[in-house]
Amino acid sequence: MSVRKLKPITPGQRFRVVNGFDAITADKPEKSLLAPLKKSGGRNSQGKMTIRQKGGGHKRRYRVIDFKRDKQDVTAIVKSIEYDPNRTAFIALLEYADGEKRYVIAQNGLKVDQQVSAGTGSAPEIGNALPLGEIPLGTIISCIELRPGQGAVMARSAGTFAQLMAKDGKFVTVKMPSGETRLVLSACMATVGAVSNSDHQLLVSGKAGRSRWLGRRPRTRPVAMNPVDHPMGGGEGRASGGHPRSRNGVPAKGYRTRSKTKSTNKYIIERRKK
């Protein structure tokens, strides 16, 4: 994977850094795995704006992703690695031996025509999904379930990965992308390898219009608001601002919002770093 820096023949291209898309092998998605995607523009069922800075953007179709990897004991071949406009990671089109096709999150190093499998007894190789209890210690993993059969919910974004640290009875210890160390049931599924498109963090949009294409509307800085609109608004002249906080007054930068009485706190061994 690589990134390209454009020659600045227009002002919007001066600082723009784009993805090289070296890993992409197909330019059209599988029609049978597409679903319509409706946009709300940040409005609720009454038509009232409940989320700011949303709206517009290019029309998209949703790619139905198999997060559960529940087609087990059947080998599949990677037919293509594709771009997905709904997520930062690339996706892989799998074709199973019985002819069924499914999309999965692509791992770094996954190649076309590679064989992958899921379920108990699968080899701990890149792209294979198996229970955490069967994965060797120290292995880099991604697309991790939190409850057996729920489907992958953790480490799904571009370039992210977790590491299997220890096994103890029916639990395993996993070091998460955030740095948090927590216990997860060994029956939960995970995929071997880090998520693809690790260069995503290096991209630079170059102009405000690209944010509009992605459905993001302009954001007003809180310090430019009045006191009635935001805790950081107001002030005489340029003497404005205050401690960084949300519109509701919840402090940012290190303030812990997780409940101290949450039932799952017992599974967290070490909190993420500030």
Q: What is the mean pLDDT of residues 180-209?
A: 96
The pLDDT value recorded for residue 238 is 82
Q: Give the pair of three-digit tokens for residue 16.
A: 């723009």
pLDDT tens string 29-38: 999 999 999 9
- The domain limits of the chain are 3-41+54-200
Q: Which of 61-65, 102-106, 189-193, 238-242 has the lowest mean pLDDT?
A: 238-242
Bridge partners (DSSP) of residue 35 are 62
The pLDDT value recorded for residue 168 is 94
> What is the separation of C-alpha 211 from the centre of its chain, rounded to a whole number of angstroms?
18
The pLDDT value recorded for residue 73 is 86
Helix (H) or strand (E) holding 212: helix 208-213
Q: What is the mean pLDDT of residues 111-120?
A: 96
Taking 90 as the threshold, does the pLDDT of residue 193 lie above it? yes
Q: Quote the strand ranges of the chain, DSSP E.
A: 3-5, 17-19, 34-36, 61-63, 76-82, 91-96, 101-105, 115-116, 129-131, 140-142, 162-168, 171-175, 181-185, 189-192, 268-270
The pLDDT value recorded for residue 242 is 86
Bridge partners (DSSP) of residue 195 are 107
Taking 70 as the threshold, does the pLDDT of residue 105 lie above it? yes
State the maximum Cα–Cα separation within the chain, in Å, rounded to a whole number. Answer: 71
Tell the CATH topology of 3-41+54-200. Answer: OB fold (Dihydrolipoamide Acetyltransferase, E2P) (2.40.50)
Taking 90 as the threshold, does the pLDDT of residue 131 lie above it? yes
CA distance 137 to 154: 18
- Measure the CA dihedral 213/215/218/221, to 10°: -130
Q: What is the mean pLDDT of residues 188-214?
A: 96
pLDDT tens string 7-64: 999 999 999 999 999 999 999 999 999 999 999 999 999 999 999 999 999 999 999 9
- Contact of 260 with 271, CB cutoff 8 Å: no
**What phi and psi, each to the nearest 5 degrees, are found at residue 18?**
-115, 160
The pLDDT value recorded for residue 254 is 87
CA distance 227 to 236: 11
Taking 70 as the threshold, does the pLDDT of residue 1 lie above it? no
Using 50, 70 and 90 to split pLDDT, how confident is the model at 274? low
Taking 90 as the threshold, does the pLDDT of residue 237 lie above it? no
CA distance 19 to 200: 7
pLDDT tens string 245-261: 999 999 998 898 999 99
Q: What is the mean pLDDT of residues 77-100?
A: 97
